[in-house]
Every structure is written in structure tokens, then in C-alpha cells.
Chain A
Amino acid sequence: MDPVFLSGQLFTGLSVASLLLLTALGLALSFGLMRVINMAHGEFLMIGGYLTFIAAKLMGPGFLWLAFPLAFVGTALLGALLEFTVIRRLYGRPLDTLLATWGISLILQQAARQIFGSTGVPVTAPAWLSGAVVVHGGVLDGLTFPHVRLFVIVLSALVLGGMWWLLNRSPFGMHVRAVNQNREVAASLGVNTRRLDMLVFALGAGIAGVAGVGLALLSPVNPTVGAAYIVNAFLVVVVGGVGSVLGAGAAALLLGFTTALAEGLTSSSLAQSIMLILVVVFLQWKPKGLFPTQSRALEET
């Protein structure tokens, strides 16, 4: 096979993985740690996209520097509001969170439709991101690495690293893990579990908002864009092992490269079915994902 095509597909794998990871990281928090099946996660991505559009309207070409904080804060606030009004009442009923957040996703979609119109809004990558790194000469002559793709790869790595640090090295993360292991004990040790729940959910939403900025550079921004990502995002979390941030990273890479391979060998359309079936087969082999979180004390029923 043509070495340029082959390395191009490898880069595709990495690129697809970075998008999967970006869209899944917020879920790794809300689903992985809190067991909230947030079907409105896709809509947080969408809102991130619209906030990017607003930032571009306000700022012009340098909009990205405004878009990230705006998208993060905007979606995080919305997430906090949701947690406070709905999610809070549903802890311990994961399947019910699914239904309620599905309802919320419908409302958010319709709201976006009425505010911004059902036609998508244009967001174009700034000039400094619109070029590409091109290999000249040698066997890989013509191999192209678009700046936007590189940017999204770096972005997802940064978000992954940031989340890992936050959960595993910061005092906040210690509290999160403590609550995750034993809510009552953590509460009795003075952790404000209610506030922490809200923060974790808001953080997950905020990360989705940031992901939305990245997506806006490569995908449409319209009321229904979230639906295109939500199923795959859940699969990343499940394959990675629920509750494991690094697992999500590994799963995104696995799914990304599998997709790129399948797309390279067959067609894009068939590749999606193949990927979904492979995930189901994979879960046969490892039902708890790549990095299962093991616990013994809580197994008893």
C-alpha cells in the first residue's frame, strides 16, 4: 500500500481518537464518576459550538482565546443549574437520569433552534489554524498534517492531562475519589458531597463545552450536532472502563485507530457498523472495559 496513504490513515486514527476523547472526557466524569447517563451531553457540545460562534462574532479572528473560557464557563454554569434542578434528585437511579436528560436534550435542541435558527451557523477556523504541515520529498512526499487537526490533538491531550491531574493529584480530586468510594464516610469527614456533586457535573459539562469549541473547527454548529457524537462518546467511556480517565484515553485511541483501519480498508459507511459491532465483541472479552475499577468492599449485595 502507498506509504503516504498508510501514514495518512495513521494520522486519521490519531485525529479521530482525539475527537472521540474530547467528546467523551466530560462523560467520563458525569457517567464514569457519578453514574449519571447524561443524554444531554451532546447538547453541551452543541452549546460549546454556539458559544464559539458568539465569540467569533464578538472578537473576530482571535476568537479562540475568548471561545475557550466562554464555552467552559457557559456550559459549566448550565451544567450546575441542571444538576441543581434535576440531576440531584436522581442520584442512584441511573436509568432514570437517562430519560430525564433525554428530555433536557430535546429542550436544549429546540431552544437552540429558536435562538439561532434551524440552519447551522458558520464557524471558520482562524487564519493561523487554516494551513497544514506538508512533508516534502522522501517516501512520504505530500503527507499533510492540517493545523486544525494538530490543534485538536493537542487540545484533547491537554484536557486529558488536566483532568488526570485534577482527579489524581489535586485536593479536589482527592475529595472526588473519596466521595466516589464511600459517600457517607466522606461526608462524615467534612466533605460537602452535595457541592462536590454539582462541581463534578459542572466540570463535566464545562469540558464538553471546551470540546464543542474544538468540534466547531471541524464540524457543523447546528441544533442537532450533538446527536452525531453522543453514542460514540458513551462507547469510549464503556470501552475504557467506567470511571477511568486514562481508560477513556486508551479507548479513544483504540477506537480511533480501529475506525481509521476499517475506513481505509472498506468504506466510511461500513466502517461505522464494523466499529460498533467490534465494541460489542470487545465487551464480551472485557465486560468492564480496558481499565476496570476494582473494588471488593462494595461487591456485596
Chain B
Amino acid sequence: MKKDIHARKRHLTLLLTLGVLGGAALAQDTIKVGILHSLTGTMSISEITVANAAQLAVDEINAGSGVMGKKIMVVKEDGASDWPTFATKAEKLLTQDKVAAVFGGWTSASRKSMLPVFEKNGGLLFYPVQFEGNECSPNIVYTGAQPNQQALPALDWAMGKGYKTIFLLGSDYVYPRTANLILKKHITDMKGTLAGEEYVPLGGTEFSSVINKIKAAKPDVIINTLNGDSNVSFFKQYQAAGYSAKTLPVISFSIAEQEAQSIGPALLTGQYATWNYFQSLPNAANKKFVAAYQKKYGKNTAITDPMAHAYMDVYLWKAAVEKAKSFDPMAVRKAIVGISMDSPLGKITVDANGSLTQAVYTGMSGAGGQFKVISQSKGVVAPQPYDKLAFPGKTCP
């Protein structure tokens, strides 16, 4: 009966939709999850490897016993660096493929556009990237750093080193603007000095004026929230203008091992980055992860914080499913709170607000685009989606 309807359907819709594929019947022994990242477009630079990391975790789980006896079947969708596409594909994953969870998103804009879709359809999204906080959806597990798990520890570290006069440089979008808003409150609070604040358009390649302004402002350190390839332009032009880590250090929040490689490690030598993960972390889980990833995707592939988060997210989901004994997204979301595991990032725990309690590291860039950890938080840091100084009174529901 169902088949009949499908056949008739197809007949009619072919005319209009180039053939909409009816949902294939689910095999009993598999469970579907979605991986939704930009495989094309400007963001694909960052997101393809993150999608790969999630896929790796799925492959590992499938090579073992699966999740509650079921093999995971991945439905991979391309967000195409285009936010409405993320929303559309999320809708497809939830309503057509009926996936149990989605691993995906990078930019805040893509997450914001997916959020209503997940809330409307009762889906569950694992979001692996550091972000600006100020959001607390019951349908999203935010595993990347909250501002208090990256930006503020970096500020603490810089102040501790005696870098009191700070220049804030970022791309003109939500993360840098919000992170800097928070940082400014804390700079004042810590009796530091804001030397200047500058934003370049997304994808901007011209930094002559910016560098001139930095020079006039004479800061001790630059906190850099530039996005993607603007970093390449900035560091090329920064070095050309005669600056180096010795004369004026830069702490970056969006430069990981992969970005370091494409900027050219020589330009970055001695500069700093703050993350919850570096490829060089010595723990056993990380060694296993790095080895497995490089075996599958190439010997010299760089591994980054968002990749490690994406990889771990799949394992987190597995643990939560097994704890809930259900694939139901809301049951999983409920069960995930309090789950704790040893991951490539070290020991992590899921907080009630859906974010991770995790450690923070500051690394110094060296040869080959790798970072050497030079400082780390005392123990793990609990996530604070809303900064107390900048947004007093705001909490997760």
C-alpha cells in the first residue's frame, strides 16, 4: 500500500521537483545520524575536516559494536557555506531522514539559522566550535568553548605576563564583536588598558590601515579574532611591516594547526593561540585520535580543536544514547547531562546547560604549524554561556 502511494507520488512530482526521493525504509539494525557541514564554498576550508573527524568517530563505533546494537548510518549534507542552506538541510535531515542527531555547523550564523528548525522538529544538534555564548537552546549541545573557556583565560594569561595594554582586532561578525564586548568589560575590571579596537569586513584582505592604527596605539599585545583567511593577509602584512612575536605578540582565537599551515608557519612563529585542544596534547586518547585520523586522511594532516570536539561529540552522543537507552533526541539530551569521559581534549563533563566543562590551553606556534602548550587552566573550567560582567542577570533557563 505504502509503495503504491510512493509510486503515484513520484509520477506526479517528477514534473516539478526532478523527482523527490521518498524516504527509503529504515533497516532495523541501523540508526541514522546527520553530518551537516559546508563541503563547498568559503567555509569548506574549515568544515570539511570537521565533518571528516565526525565521520571517523562513526566509523570507529561501527567497527566496534555500534550503538545499542545498531550500526550508525551517516547522512552527509552540504551546508554550502550558506546559512539558509543549513536550515533547509537541517530540515531535510530531521523530517525526511529522521536522523537521531545532527553533528554540524561552524559559524554562529549557520547555528542561528538551524536553531529554529531543531526546536520546531525536536531534533538534537551537536555544535563543535567555539562561539560567543549568549545562547542556550535545549536542542543544542554546545561543545566548543564558551567565551569564559577561551577568550577570558587568554586575557588572564596575557595580563599575567604583563601585557596590560591590549588591542582588539577582529573580523566584522558576531563572534569577534561579542567576544570583544566581554573582553573590554574584563580589561576594565582587571585595570588593563584598551589600546584600540578594529574590525575588518569578513574576508577582508587589506590591513595597511589597521597596522598603521596598531602602530599608533602602541599596545603590548593584540587579541585577534579575525576569521579564516583574513588571518593569512594579516600575518603576511604584519610581518612585512616589521612586526614579529618578539616585538608585538598576537593571541589568536581562530588560528589552529590547520590555519597555521596555510598561513605559513614561518609567519606565525612565536605567536599564541588559546584553545581547549592542541594536536600536541600528550594524552593517550589524543594520540589514538591523531593516529587514526592521519591514517585515514593523510599523514601530515593538521588536527584542530573543532575537529577534536566533533570527533568527541559522536562518542558523547553514543554514551548518552546508551545511558538513556533510547534514540529519542530529547531523552538523549536529558541523559547527556553529567556524562563524563576521557577524550582527546582530556577529561570533559557535560554541564546541565548543554556545554562542556573542559580545560583551556594556551599554545605557542612553532615549526610545522604545531603549537606547544605553554600554559593551561588550573583544572577544568565550567562553561558560562552568559558572561556575568557583560550580561548580568542572564542565565540559561
A interface residues with partner B (beta carbon < 8 Å): 2, 4-5, 8-9, 11-12, 15-16, 19, 110, 113, 118-125, 129-132, 134, 142, 144, 146-149, 217-220, 222, 224-225, 227-229, 259-260, 263-264, 267-269, 271-272
- Neighbour of B209 across the interface among A146, A149, A264, CB < 8 A: A264
- Neighbour of B240 across the interface among A147, A228, A229, CB < 8 A: A147
Known: A118-B48, A123-B264, A144-B242. A267 touches B212 (CB 8 A): no
Q: Can you give 16 contacting A-B residue pairs, CB < 8 Å?
A: A5-B216, A15-B208, A118-B45, A119-B258, A124-B236, A125-B236, A144-B215, A219-B205, A219-B232, A219-B236, A220-B229, A225-B229, A228-B204, A264-B209, A268-B204, A272-B204
Contact partners of B237 in chain A: CB under 8 A: 146, 148, 218
Give the most central of A11, A121, A144: most B CB within 10 Å: A144
CB-CB nearest in chain A for B238: A146
Task: Please name the 3 residue pairs, one residue from A and one from B, whose CB atoms are nearest each other, closest first.
Answer: A122-B264, A220-B232, A263-B209
Contact partners of B42 in chain A: CB under 8 A: 224
Q: In the complex, how many angstroms separate the beta carbon of A284 from the nearest chain B beta carbon?
A: 24
**14 extra interchain contacts, Cβ-Cβ under 8 A, other than A16-B208, A225-B229, A268-B210?**
A12-B212, A122-B262, A122-B264, A132-B240, A144-B241, A146-B240, A229-B205, A260-B209, A264-B213, A267-B198, A267-B199, A268-B200, A268-B204, A272-B204
CB-CB nearest in chain A for B172: A269
Give Cα A124–Cα B269 distance, bound, in whole angstroms.
13
- Neighbour of B199 across the interface among A131, A148, A219, A268, CB < 8 A: A268
Name B149-175 residues within 8 Å CB distance of A.
172
B338 within 8 A of A: no
Contact partners of A130 in chain B: CB under 8 A: 239-240
Give Cα A144–Cα B200 distance, bound, in whole angstroms.
22
Name B194-253 residues within 8 Å CB distance of A.
198-201, 203-206, 208-210, 212-213, 215-216, 229, 232-233, 236-237, 239-242
Contact, CB under 8 Å: A9 / B261:
no
Give Cα A123–Cα B236 distance, bound, in whole angstroms.
9
Contact partners of B206 in chain A: CB under 8 A: 16, 19, 259, 268
Q: In the complex, how many angstroms separate the beta carbon of A78 from the nearest chain B beta carbon?
A: 22
Name B49-66 residues within 8 Å CB distance of A.
none
B382 within 8 A of A: no
Q: Mark B25-50, 1 if CB is under 8 A from A, else 0.
A: 00000000000000011101100100
B337 within 8 A of A: no
Give Cα A129–Cα B172 distance, bound, in whole angstroms.
30
Q: In the complex, how many angstroms separate the beta carbon of A98 from the nearest chain B beta carbon?
A: 21
Contact, CB under 8 Å: B261 / A220:
no
Give Cα A180–Cα B215 distance, bound, in whole angstroms.
49
Contact, CB under 8 Å: B216 / A148:
no
Known: A113-B44, A144-B242, A146-B242. A120 touches B216 (CB 8 A): no
Give Cα A65–Cα B109 distance, bound, in whole angstroms.
43
Contact partners of A220 in chain B: CB under 8 A: 205, 229, 232-233, 262
Give Cα A287–Cα B172 distance, bound, in whole angstroms.
32
CB-CB nearest in chain B for A264: B209
Contact partners of A113 in chain B: CB under 8 A: 40, 44
Give Cα A132–Cα B242 distance, bound, in whole angstroms.
6
Contact, CB under 8 Å: A269 / B199:
yes
B360 within 8 A of A: no
- Neighbour of A5 across the interface among B45, B172, B212, B266, CB < 8 A: B212
Contact partners of A225 in chain B: CB under 8 A: 205, 229
Contact, CB under 8 Å: B261 / A122:
yes
Give Cα A147–Cα B206 distance, bound, in whole angstroms.
16
Contact, CB under 8 Å: A12 / B205:
no
Known: A2-B216, A148-B240. A260 touches B208 (CB 8 A): yes
Q: In the complex, how many angstroms separate the beta carbon of A121 from the nearest chain B beta carbon?
A: 7
Q: In the complex, how many angstroms separate the beta carbon of A41 from the nearest chain B beta carbon?
A: 16
Give Cα A122–Cα B199 distance, bound, in whole angstroms.
24
Contact, CB under 8 Å: A12 / B264:
no
Contact, CB under 8 Å: A120 / B212:
no
Q: Mark B261-277, 1 if CB is under 8 A from A, else 0.
A: 11111110000000000
Give Cα A130–Cα B264 distance, bound, in whole angstroms.
14
